[in-house]
């Protein structure tokens, strides 16, 4: 029979113990010894008074040995062999005292069963043969008169009694040995199958741990990338100019992700060229402004990314898709991402790493989000720049219009007014003495243009103007400028309305007749009346021009 000992599984499988037969029988021996140590004292007390002197010595000595091997830490084999010896000795003593009776046969049967259970060798067959040989030998010696049990003559066993009991022990012993061996064989098969399953579970567990470890590592890497992405996005969102935005993005990506070169390329309006606008590495900064022509017939890296609107990953030189760049000889991995805004490519984000296989599809997905955000910020800053430019131009135009309008307006008005104790009076000319003293002058500003001045002076000498006073006067000056602008616009509106009315009246009077002389007379009269003229003259034709050869010269009609 094969040895059933094995090495327990290590690792997490220790939580699921295998059916170890050696461990089981060690525990079995300890349990038997403890039970016999407790119950044996009762047996000694019950049997000891009726036993002979030799029986008493054997009984007490056996119990002492039993108690010793139970309490002391001894080896398994010492305990097992001692237990078998004690059981055999008790059974033999019973047979020597009372012949092949039930109790002696029972002890010998127990000896055979324990021999089969406690050992993997063929000790059970040797034990069975020893018991049968002992009974047979004692039976022969009893019939020859060399041995007699301590029984009355009438109760001495006959040869038949010895043969029957020996046969009974042999049959029972064979049955028990066969059953126990069958049990151990089945146990061994279960053990082998269990061990195979446990080994399979161990392999699967190790594979699962490796898979979980790699998944956790990827998850940790993605978490770090997302954290770095948020840092770059926060820094980029705080920038107000396009140049600062591009520099912030490339420097932040290189710092947070550990790439030794990061570059941003932007397309021109015709999408025929792409320019390197910003770079993080020293070599890249030297190439800022580099132009790459997008030839429709070529299928280079840049053209592929822009045309397909998808990221492109290139790895170490051993790969079939690696694209080397002589400007960056340390590059071992490269990731190019399109900058997309509303489905349109406005440029690309170029990332270089000096590590082999540094980029994966998961990395490309995460970094594409950052590229899309960068593209949106670039487009927003472009639009903001255009709006600011247009607004500035509009403000300049409006300021120029305001300046021209006010110069025309004041050319028809008194240039200044002054409040005095005597009342408000116009000021046609100002001398330098008027501006001397503790006076406060605040400009009247409209649309960023100065349209006049406000000069005020406190009563009494030595009075000074505080900052609060100046602030209040400036607010009043702003409101005065708005009021003056409103007044000017109303005046212009009225004058325009009057001009339209005059034109309408003249047109109505002129259209009342179809006679040329009448039309001319009416028009001249209306002009003289409306503008209060001394005289008005209307000429029909050009008297200084030479008439055509085919026609006579037409004279001019003048009216005064």
Mind listing the pLDDT tens digit for each residue in 336-373? 999 998 888 899 999 998 888 888 888 888 888 888 98
- Alpha-carbon distance of 410 to 403, in angstroms, equals 11
d(CA 520, CA 557): 8
For tokens 């003289």, the residue is: 528
- Phi, psi dihedrals of residue 349, rounded to the nearest 5°: -110, 120
Beta bridge partners of 266: 275, 347
- Give the mean model confidence (pLDDT) for residues 251-272: 88
Considering only residues 219 and 308, tell me which one the structure prediction assigns the higher pLDDT: 308
Residue of 228 and 250 predicted with greater confidence: 250
Tokens 């069958």 sit on residue: 182
pLDDT band at 321 (very low <50, low <70, confident <90, very high): low
pLDDT at residue 98 greater than cutoff 80: no
Residue 349, pLDDT score: 92
HEC sequence for 313-373: EECCCCCCCCCCCCCCCCCCEEEEEEEEECCEEEEEEEEEECCCCCCCHHHHHHHHHHHHH
- pTM (2 d.p.): 0.48
Rounded mean pLDDT of 104-126?
A: 83
Residue with tokens 């060399």: 146
Q: Which residue has the higher pLDDT, 10 or 522?
A: 522
pLDDT top residue among 252 and 50: 252
User: pLDDT tens, 467-483?
Assistant: 887 888 888 878 887 88
* Residue 25 contacts residue 118 (beta carbons within 8 Å): yes
Q: What is the pLDDT of residue 298?
A: 67
Name the pLDDT band for 227 (thresholds 50, 70, 90).
Answer: confident
Q: What is the pLDDT of residue 264?
A: 92
Q: How many CA atoms lie within 13 A of 73 on its CB side?
A: 0
Sequence-distant (≥ 6) Cβ neighbours of residue 40 within 8 angstroms:
63, 66, 67
Most confident of 13-17, 100-104, 461-465: 100-104
pLDDT tens string 426-450 = 766 655 445 455 677 788 777 777 7
CATH 3.40.50.1100 fits 246-387, yes or no: no
Q: Cβ–Cβ contacts within 10 Å for residue 363, how many?
A: 20
The answer to whether the CB of 517 falls within 8 A of the CB of 557 is: yes
Residue 4: per-residue pLDDT: 41
Smallest Cα–Cα separation from 413: which of 311, 332, 500, 487? 487
Model pLDDT for residues 20-55, shown as the tens digit of each residue: 677 878 888 888 888 888 887 887 777 777 667 777
Backbone φ and ψ for 431, nearest 5 degrees, come out as: -95, 165
Those residues whose C-beta lies under 8 Å from the C-beta of residue 3, and which sit 6 or more positions away, are 120
Higher pLDDT, 111 or 516: 111
C-alpha count within 13 angstroms, C-beta hemisphere, residue 117:
19
Distance CA 288, CA 301 (A): 19
Is residue 319 predicted with pLDDT exceeding 60? no
* Cα(107)–Cα(97) distance, integer angstroms: 14
Mean pLDDT is lowest, of 132-141, 442-451, 454-463, for 454-463
Domain boundaries, the chain: 11-205, 246-387, 415-491
pLDDT at 428: 63
């Amino acid at each position: 029979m094969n040895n059933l000992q094995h090495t327990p599984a290590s690792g997490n499988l220790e939580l699921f113990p295998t059916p170890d037969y050696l461990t089981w029988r060690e525990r079995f021996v300890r349990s038997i010894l403890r039970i016999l140590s407790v119950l044996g004292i009762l047996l000694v007390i019950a049997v000891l008074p009726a036993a002979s002197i030799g029986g008493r010595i054997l009984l007490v000595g056996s119990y002492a040995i039993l108690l010793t091997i139970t309490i002391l830490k001894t080896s398994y084999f010492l305990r097992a062999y001692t237990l078998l010896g004690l059981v055999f000795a008790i059974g033999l003593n019973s047979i020597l005292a009372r012949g092949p009776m039930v109790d002696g046969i029972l002890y010998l049967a127990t000896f055979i069963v324990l021999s089969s259970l406690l050992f993997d060798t063929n000790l059970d067959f040797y034990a069975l043969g020893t018991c049968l040989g002992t009974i047979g030998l004692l039976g022969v010696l009893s019939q020859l008169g060399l041995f007699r049990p301590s029984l009355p003559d009438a109760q001495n066993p006959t040869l038949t009694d010895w043969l029957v009991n020996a046969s009974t022990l042999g049959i029972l012993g064979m049955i028990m040995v066969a059953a126990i061996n069958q049990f151990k064989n089945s146990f061994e098969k279960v053990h082998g199958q269990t061990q195979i399953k446990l080994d399979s579970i161990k392999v699967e567990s190790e594979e699962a741990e490796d898979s979980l470890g790699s998944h956790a590592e990827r998850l940790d890497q993605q978490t770090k990338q997302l954290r770095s992405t948020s840092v770059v996005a926060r820094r980029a969102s705080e920038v107000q100019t396009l140049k600062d935005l591009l520099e912030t993005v490339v420097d932040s990506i290189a710092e947070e992700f550990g790439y030794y070169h990061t570059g941003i390329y932007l397309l021109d309006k015709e999408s025929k060229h792409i320019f390197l606008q910003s770079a993080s590495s020293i070599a890249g900064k030297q190439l800022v402004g580099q132009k790459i022509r997008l030839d429709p017939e070529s299928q280079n890296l840049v053209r592929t990314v822009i045309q397909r609107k998808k990221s492109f990953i290139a790895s170490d030189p051993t790969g079939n898709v690696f694209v080397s760049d002589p400007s960056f000889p340390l590059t071992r991995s490269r990731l190019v991402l399109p900058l997309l805004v509303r489905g349109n490519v406005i440029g690309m984000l170029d990332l270089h790493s000096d590590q082999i296989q540094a980029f994966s599809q998961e990395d490309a997905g995460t970094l594409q989000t950052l590229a899309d955000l960068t593209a949106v910020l670039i487009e927003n800053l472009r639009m903001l720049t255009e709006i600011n430019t247009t607004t500035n131009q509009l403000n300049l135009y409006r300021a120029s219009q305001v300046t021209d309008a006010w110069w025309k307006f004041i050319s028809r008005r008194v240039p200044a007014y002054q409040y005095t104790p005597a009342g408000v009076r116009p000021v046609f000319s100002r001398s330098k003495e008027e501006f001397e003293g503790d006076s406060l002058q605040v400009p009247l500003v409209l649309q960023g243009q100065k349209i006049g001045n406000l000069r005020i002076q406190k009563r009494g000498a030595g009075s000074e103007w505080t900052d609060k006073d100046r602030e209040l006067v400036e607010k009043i000056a702003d409101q005065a400028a708005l009021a003056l602008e409103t007044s000017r616009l109303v005046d212009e509106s009225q004058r325009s309305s009057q001009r339209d009315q005059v034109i309408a009246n003249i047109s109505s009077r002129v259209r009342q007749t179809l006679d040329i002389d009448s039309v001319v007379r009416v028009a001249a009269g209306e002009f003289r009346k409306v503008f209060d003229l001394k005289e008005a003259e209307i000429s029909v034709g050009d008297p200084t021009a030479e008439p055509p050869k085919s026609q006579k010269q037409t004279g001019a009609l003048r009216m005064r």
